[in-house]
């Protein structure tokens, strides 16, 4: 009998399948029986001795790996305490931060002067009293230029412009009728209490317009709000009366007083809207 082509091909395929099965079996046995290689972490070839911090500056000290105790110190263990500290910090910032339409004396306006160019009249110079130019704050509210001009005229307040290339101070008043300007060559001769804007306010633009009407430029200069002595006495009286009504008999207990300009039947007046104590 002769072997057919079908039997020959079948035999060849069976032989190939048997060979592949044997190879796979041998590889499986090697994978199971042979141990796994351990992964070894080696030290860096060279030690880091300096780190560039930009430009040519370097820090000439190696990195130290922190210990477990050092890494624990970076973790917050009391979440409630952390939240409370953040809330307290936010409250302190809210108390110290003036409102956007408020105006407070400045400690330094860049021209070598302070909130008052003359002596403070809060009381005995040796007494432990926060000066008025540090504890007073005034809030203004006006809908338009004319209303703001009427407020300034009602209280006899002048706007002063200092700084820039012009020495001395330009003073402007009578805003509601016909703004008039006068020039004071020696700024040291001005002894009134003055206020500066501590934060941007729409009323600053109104002041610039009033000064422009009087022919006074504010470019690269500082605008001051000069308080007449009579108004300063009125504010001091209002401040003390409010403190007494709250159980504080002396101004040395006052840390800050906030006044507000309000409209009444005839004209305007100031009222104490808040007061903090030491």
pLDDT digits (tens, 9 = 90+) for 239-268: 999 999 999 999 999 999 999 999 998 899
Average pLDDT, the chain: 76
What would you measure as the largest C-alpha separation in the chain, in angstroms? 140
> For 60-86, what is the mean pLDDT?
48
Both structure tokens of 112: 């070598």
pLDDT of residue 4: 75
pLDDT digits (tens, 9 = 90+) for 218-245: 999 999 999 999 999 999 999 999 999 9
How distant is the alpha carbon of residue 112 from its chain centre?
24
C-alpha closest to that of 206 among 157, 145, 159: 145
> Residue 195 and residue 264: Cα distance in Å, rounded?
24
Contact (CB, 8 A) for 259 and 270: yes
> Residue 161 and residue 219: Cα distance in Å, rounded?
10
Contact (CB, 8 A) for 241 and 270: no
Contact (CB, 8 A) for 187 and 162: yes
> Residue 14 and residue 224: Cα distance in Å, rounded?
106
Higher per-residue confidence, 138 vs 42: 138
DSSP-derived letter for residue 116 is B
Contact (CB, 8 A) for 198 and 102: yes
Higher per-residue confidence, 253 vs 39: 253
> Residue 196 and residue 212: Cα distance in Å, rounded?
18
pLDDT of residue 205: 93
Q: In which residue are the tokens 């409370």 written? A: 84
DSSP-derived letter for residue 101 is T
- The torsion angles phi and psi of 187, rounded to 5 degrees, stand at -70, -20
Both structure tokens of 197: 């804007």
Contact (CB, 8 A) for 249 and 179: no
Both structure tokens of 160: 């002063």
C-alpha closest to that of 144 among 188, 175, 169: 175
pLDDT of residue 29: 82
């Amino acid at each position: 009998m002769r072997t057919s082509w079908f039997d020959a091909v079948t035999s060849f395929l069976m032989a190939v399948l048997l060979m592949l099965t044997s190879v796979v079996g041998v590889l499986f046995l090697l994978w199971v029986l042979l141990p796994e290689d351990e992964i070894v972490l080696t030290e860096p070839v060279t030690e880091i001795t300096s780190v560039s911090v930009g430009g040519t500056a370097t820090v000439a000290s190696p990195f130290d790996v922190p210990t477990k105790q050092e890494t624990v110190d970076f973790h917050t263990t009391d979440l409630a305490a952390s939240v409370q500290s953040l809330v307290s910090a936010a409250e302190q910032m809210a108390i110290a931060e003036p409102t956007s339409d408020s105006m407070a004396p400045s400690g330094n306006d860049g021209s070598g002067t302070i909130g008052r160019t003359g002596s403070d009249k809060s009381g005995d110079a040796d007494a432990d009293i926060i000066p008025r130019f540090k504890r007073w704050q005034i809030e203004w509210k006006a809908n338009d230029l004319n209303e703001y001009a009427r407020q300034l005229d009602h209280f006899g307040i002048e706007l002063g412009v200092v700084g820039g290339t012009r020495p001395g101070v330009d003073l402007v008043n009578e805003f509601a009728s016909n703004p008039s300007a006068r020039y004071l060559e020696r700024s040291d001769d001005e002894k009134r209490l003055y206020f500066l804007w501590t934060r941007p306010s729409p009323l600053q633009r109104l002041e610039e317009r009033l000064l422009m009407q009087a022919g006074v430029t504010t470019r690269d200069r500082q605008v001051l709000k000069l308080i007449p002595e009579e108004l300063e006495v009125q504010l001091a009286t209002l401040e003390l009366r409010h403190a007494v009504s709250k159980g504080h008999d002396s101004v040395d207990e006052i840390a800050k007083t906030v006044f507000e300009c309000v409209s009444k039947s005839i004209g305007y007046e100031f009222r104490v809207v808040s007061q903090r104590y030491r």
